[in-house]
Copies of this chain bind each other. A is one copy, B any other.
Amino acid sequence: MTDCSQNCGGRYSYGLAATLSIIAGKWKPLILYFLLDGPKRYGELKRNVHGVSAKVLIQQLKELEADRVLARTDYKEVPPRVDYALTPLGRSLADRIVPLCTWGTENMAEMVSILAERDRLL
């Protein structure tokens, strides 16, 4: 989505399109949110972001790193130890994701109902 020419009735959503191009990816918002808790090692991410595979995790981490929202630190130890942390830019982004989590939590009853209805229709 390099084309950010989104115009929403006077509201310009260039910014939204740009943001979406960064957090697009099944696990990226969860990763960013998790890292608000502090730097985490690869294994910690793997265990806590339930369902993600090794391949996809490392892939999304690399993309987030390339997009400058997180930084990878290799401690050059044996056995290997690396961790991933939010950059200042990444932290400011993750802060904007928190309201999404809050919304889901606040409306959990409705969410459960919606997801149940979705399953029912299958």
Contacts and interface: CB of A to CB of B under 8 A. Distances in A.
B49 A34 contact: no
Nearest to A67: B114
Interface in A66-114: 66-68, 89, 92-93, 96-97, 99-108, 110-111, 114
Interface string A27-66: 0011001101110100010001111000000000000001
Contact of A9 (B21, B37, B66, B101): B37
Contact of A33 (B11, B38, B89, B99): B11
Interface of A: 2-23, 29-30, 33-34, 36-38, 40, 44, 48-51, 66-68, 89, 92-93, 96-97, 99-108, 110-111, 114-115, 117-119, 121
User: Which of A12, A106, A114 has the largest number of chain B CB atoms within 10 A?
Assistant: A114
